[in-house]
Structure 1
Amino acid sequence: MIEASKSKWFDFGFSQYTKRLFKHHFKGIYIHTEENLPVNALWCANHSTWWDGLVLHYINWTVLRQDFNIMMHEKGLRDFPYFRRLGAFSVNRENPRDIIQSVKYGGSLLKEGKSVAIFPQGDERHLEQRPLEFLSGIIAMAEISPETPILPIALYYSFGSEKKQELYIAIGEPIAYLDLGGSRKEKTRILEDLFTAGLDELKRKVISRDTNDFLNIL
């Protein structure tokens, strides 16, 4: 696997680039967060577009301000190695040994008090696909650092009456790993069900325009 190699200066410069990029393509990025969020967490987000990894980086830079890392497909990281400097590390899902190594590496980052973002669906899936079909890697990583909360981050992209799209983000209440009962498979299902409920509620708010409590961070 390929480990992260973070650079604060590169992180700052990239954040300025992504802000200009988002302003060019988005009307707004609107976020709602729960209060008293943890200082570090295992981030759990749905994955439906090319933008998602950049969005999580931008959320961290503008709102959460955590020591952030993200799991990324090995091919993508080899094609774009500069993402290592933003905290990306690789996983090769075609190699079971590599998966174990990547999960252990992510778990070690959590134990050091850092945050790790995972897309539990593994690959990009259509935003409206149900079930979300979470893989168990996120629970395997949580097992290594069970005291670290899981932070659900729902992303919902929407086009309205204007040319540019909008993005709505709901950061939910942290989920305690120890509250997810049963086997690893059962824990994964419970987490998927909790996350799906939050994502569907975000969808309802966007469609009904019940978004007055969302803050535009763009």
Structure 2
Amino acid sequence: MIIAKKSRLFEKGFALYLLPLLRRSFSHLLGYGIRKIPEKPVIFIANHSSWWDGLLFFFLNHTVWKHDIHMMMHEKNLRKYIFFRYLGAFSIDKQNPKDIIRSLQYAEKLLAEGKSVVLFPQGDEYHQEIRPLAFSTGIGYLVEKHPDVPVVPITFYYSFRHDQKPEVWIRQSSPLSIEKIAGTSRKERTAFLQDTVTAQLDALKKEAIAENVSEFNDLLGKE
């Protein structure tokens, strides 16, 4: 596996590059419930339908959460975009069972050190309309190993509305403690979290279709 090689200097420089990039690429980043998370560490989980998802996580962390985040990425993608390593990304190879174990153990170690971890439990990028989201049990494994660490569901929905550029609708839910995650086995907890994120994503889609922007904030700071 490829471990993270996080660089504070690189993070600061990349943040200066990222905001203009997002403003050039999207008309709006519409956020609901995006707020600081006093609990540290946390496990972030999200649906995964775009290359942009990882960059949006770094943007939200830099501007709002300010956690020491590390992100699990598919090894082939991390090799292609190696700069993510300096932002805290580490790899997983789903085709190699031993590598899966090493990656999950590495995530365990990061959480034990007080660092927050970002997981895309679908494993790969899938079209945002595909159902079910089909989570792997890695998230259930980490919840089992770190029952004291809450899980924060994040959902992304990409849409075109009335502008030339697309927009992203983003929703953050309250942290889920182990007591709020139904089930006792990895499989049961994974299924609960899969259903939770699916329902959150479907609700976000309805907001986008209805153009219910009144309760959403534009995170790009545009009028």
TM-score greater than 0.5 by the shorter chain: yes
Correspondence for 1:154: 155
Alignment of 1:29-178 (within 5 A): 29-33=29-33, 37=37, 38-178=39-179
Contact 1:34 1:173 in 2 (8 A): no
Contact 2:44 2:153 in 1 (8 A): yes
Deviation for aligned residue 1:80: 2.6
**Aligned equivalents of 1:179, 1:158: Cα separation in 2:** 31
Partner deviation per Cα, 1:20-75 (whole Å, 9 max, x = no partner): 11111100111122666333310001001111111111111111111011001112
| Mean Cα deviation higher: 77-86 or 14-23 | 77-86
**Aligned equivalents of 1:56, 1:148: Cα separation in 2:** 19
Correspondence for 1:199: 201
Contact 1:149 1:176 in 2 (8 A): yes
Distance change (3 Å), C-alpha of 1:34 and 1:77? closer
Letter in 2 for 1:130: R
Contact 1:108 1:144 in 2 (8 A): no
Correspondence for 2:217: 215
User: In structure 2, the residue corresponding to 1:108 is in which secondary structure?
Assistant: helix
Deviation for aligned residue 1:115: 0.6
Deviation for aligned residue 1:150: 0.5
Deviation for aligned residue 1:81: 2.2
Letter in 1 for 2:190: T
Distance change (3 Å), C-alpha of 1:131 and 1:69? same
Partner deviation per Cα, 1:155-200 (whole Å, 9 max, x = no partner): 0111012101111110001112343313211111111111111111
Contact 2:92 2:99 in 1 (8 A): yes
Deviation for aligned residue 1:82: 2.1
Deviation for aligned residue 1:84: 1.2
Contact 2:27 2:166 in 1 (8 A): yes
Distance change (3 Å), C-alpha of 1:40 and 1:214? farther
User: In structure 2, the residue corresponding to 1:204 is in which secondary structure?
Assistant: helix
**Aligned equivalents of 1:134, 1:14: Cα separation in 2:** 30
Correspondence for 1:24: 24
User: In structure 1, the residue corresponding to 2:55 is in which secondary structure?
Assistant: helix
**Aligned equivalents of 1:60, 1:130: Cα separation in 2:** 28
Partner deviation per Cα, 1:115-170 (whole Å, 9 max, x = no partner): 11010111111111111111111111222211110000010111012101111110
Give the unaligned 5+ runs of structure 1.
Answer: none
**Aligned equivalents of 1:61, 1:193: Cα separation in 2:** 28
**Aligned equivalents of 1:22, 1:3: Cα separation in 2:** 27
Aligned length: 218
The normalised TM-score by structure 2 is 0.93
**Aligned equivalents of 1:210, 1:173: Cα separation in 2:** 21
Deviant stretches of 4+, over 6 Å: none
**Aligned equivalents of 1:67, 1:7: Cα separation in 2:** 11
Contact 1:74 1:90 in 2 (8 A): yes
User: Is 1:188 the equivalent of 2:190?
Assistant: yes
**Aligned equivalents of 2:173, 2:123: Cα separation in 1:** 21
Deviation for aligned residue 1:211: 2.3
Percent of aligned pairs with the same residue? 44
Letter in 1 for 2:90: F
